Amino acid sequence: MAEFTLELNDDQQQVRDWLHGFAEDVIRPAAAEWDEREETPWPIIQEAAKVGIYSLDFYAQQFFDPTGLGIPMTMEELFWGDAGIALSIVGTGLAAVGVLANGTEEQIGTWIPQMYGDPDDVKVAAFCSSEPDAGSDVAAMRTRAVYDRANDEWVLNGTKTWATNGGIANVHVVVAVVDPELGSKGHASFIVPPNTPGLSQGQKFKKHGIRASHTAEVVLDDVRVPGHCLLGGKEKLDERLARAREKAAKAGKDGERLKNAAMATFEASRPAVGAMAVGTARAAYEVALDYAKTRHQFGRPIIDNQGVAFQLADMRTQIDAARLLVWRASWMATTGKPFTSAEGSMSKLYASEVAKKVTAQAVQILGGNGFTREYPVERMHRDAAIYTIFEGTSEIQRLVIARTLSGMPIR
């Protein structure tokens, strides 16, 4: 088991510097253009694929880093470049992780390469879970998957929303209800192959921030997928549903523990979002610091004023504290240490709130310039708003933390 450390090893430092160079030389110069266009930055994704950043191999290497710091380091550097473009680069990973976590070896080998394509023909994938009436409340999901035994096919019907790459993806991974009586334990995940009839893009959202990342509804109208597209296979699903029904039949606490086990899965993924927020906050802080050193008012740099200097001191302190929480939670998840105090939610909550606060302070330090699109902090402030919303709102994180500390069930 890797010991917790605050120092990156030589290999990690090389990867970090490589990512930082790509973010600085390729992502940042293109950030304002793609934010204005509100389109998927295919040329940037292609550049990332050519150098090896947009690839399953690279993310697998970081995911299996024994220190747990590979993924948060990657996220921080890419999102330091630009949140919208970075999310376009890493968004496919959500679907890939869904297949890695639930799929058979054959499914992993078949579908994940199709999610990424190759440097000459890049593809993206979409993970479709949220619905118009089922965001934080996953038990309210309505998209149904019904098994057609005669044809060995699953028939999917419903509408998904807030899907990154939804509708433009080569491969969609869709979470659907197979047994409504079991709540979240009655869900299963399905691969929807390219060009499957019945799947269409619904509304494409025009967003406040992260505009370079495509977000849309995905409509499923009698979508028929072969039986082998059920992640994990029918036999494994039947066994899992049977166990869930048996446990659900028992009174009270067993059912609650079942729900808590499901929440633990979400806990492990939240530090990565925290790392994204740290990257955006750090970027805004650095712009504000440089501006405060060079902007003169009343015959001296504005950083000489306590009102500005103290803001920058607080900003840097909060960013470093957020990173420490993210790294701790990432290390705990990798080394199998239980989140007895909801440390995953803590890291996501604090880093998200810091990103909103720090980017707002950066706008204030730049004054009128910060309010214009001539300076990047305006965009960073808009982008930062998403961190307190997706992958569980700040309110949900506080609920998870409070109920974990109190021993109350997380519903």
Question: What mean pLDDT is predicted for residues 359-369?
Answer: 97
- The alpha carbon of residue 341 and the mean position of all alpha carbons in its chain are separated, in whole angstroms, by 22
Task: Please report which confidence band the pLDDT of residue 128 belongs to, taking 50, 70 and 90 as the band edges.
Answer: very high
- Check residue 251 and give its pLDDT: 44
125-249 belongs to which homologous superfamily?
Butyryl-CoA Dehydrogenase, subunit A, domain 2 (2.40.110.10)
pLDDT at 256 over 50: no
Question: What mean pLDDT is predicted for residues 93-115?
Answer: 92
- Check residue 135 and give its pLDDT: 65
Tens digits of residue pLDDT in 145-163: 999 999 999 999 999 999 9
The count of residues in the chain is 411
Nearest to 219 by CA among 164, 148, 153, 167: 167
CA pair distance 32, 374, nearest whole angstrom: 9
Task: Please report which confidence band the pLDDT of residue 5 belongs to, taking 50, 70 and 90 as the band edges.
Answer: confident
What is the DSSP track for 163-200?
A: EETTTT-SEEEEEEES-GGGGGGGEEEEEE-TT-TTEE
Residues with active-site annotation: 391
Tens digits of residue pLDDT in 315-325: 999 999 999 99
pLDDT at 327 over 50: yes
CATH 1.20.140.10 correct for 256-406: yes
Query: What element of type H or E holds 105?
Result: helix 105-116
Q: Of 5 and 16, which is predicted with more confidence?
A: 16
- Check residue 245 and give its pLDDT: 86
- The one-letter code for the residue type at 262 is A
Q: Where are the domains of the chain?
A: 10-122, 125-249, 256-406
Contact call for residues 170 and 114 (beta carbons, < 8 A): yes
Considering only the C-alpha atoms of the chain, give the largest distance between any 2 of them, rounded to a whole number of Å. Answer: 82
* CB burial of residue 341 (10 Å; 0-12, 13-18, 19+): exposed
Least confident range from 86-90, 266-270, 295-299: namely 266-270
Task: Please report which confidence band the pLDDT of residue 411 belongs to, taking 50, 70 and 90 as the band edges.
Answer: low
- Check residue 137 and give its pLDDT: 64
Contact call for residues 145 and 188 (beta carbons, < 8 A): yes
Task: Please report which confidence band the pLDDT of residue 136 belongs to, taking 50, 70 and 90 as the band edges.
Answer: low
Tens digits of residue pLDDT in 50-73: 999 999 899 989 989 999 999 999
Contact call for residues 388 and 380 (beta carbons, < 8 A): no
pLDDT at 264 over 70: no
92 to 8, 166, 171: CA distances (angstroms)? 26, 11, 9
* CB burial of residue 39 (10 Å; 0-12, 13-18, 19+): middle
- Check residue 255 and give its pLDDT: 43
- E runs forming strands in 285-389: 296-297, 300-301
Q: Among all chains, which residue has been given the structure tokens 């090896």?
A: 52
Task: Return the structure tokens found at 23.
Answer: 């973010």
Task: Please report which confidence band the pLDDT of residue 101 belongs to, taking 50, 70 and 90 as the band edges.
Answer: confident
- Strands 215-226 vs 153-164: parallel, antiparallel or unpaired: antiparallel
Tens digits of residue pLDDT in 80-95: 999 999 999 999 998 9
Task: Please report which confidence band the pLDDT of residue 257 belongs to, taking 50, 70 and 90 as the band edges.
Answer: very low
Question: What mean pLDDT is predicted for residues 2-12?
Answer: 88
Helix then strand then coil, % of the chain, to nearest 5: 60, 15, 25
Task: Please report which confidence band the pLDDT of residue 183 belongs to, taking 50, 70 and 90 as the band edges.
Answer: confident
pLDDT at 244 over 80: yes
How is domain 10-122 classified at the architecture level of CATH? Orthogonal Bundle (1.10)
Nearest to 163 by CA among 124, 120, 118, 195: 124
pLDDT at 263 over 50: no
Contact call for residues 57 and 93 (beta carbons, < 8 A): no
pTM recorded for the entire structure: 0.91
> Which residues have a Cβ under 8 Å from the Cβ of 246 and sit 6 or more positions away?
none
Nearest to 186 by CA among 200, 198, 176, 196: 176
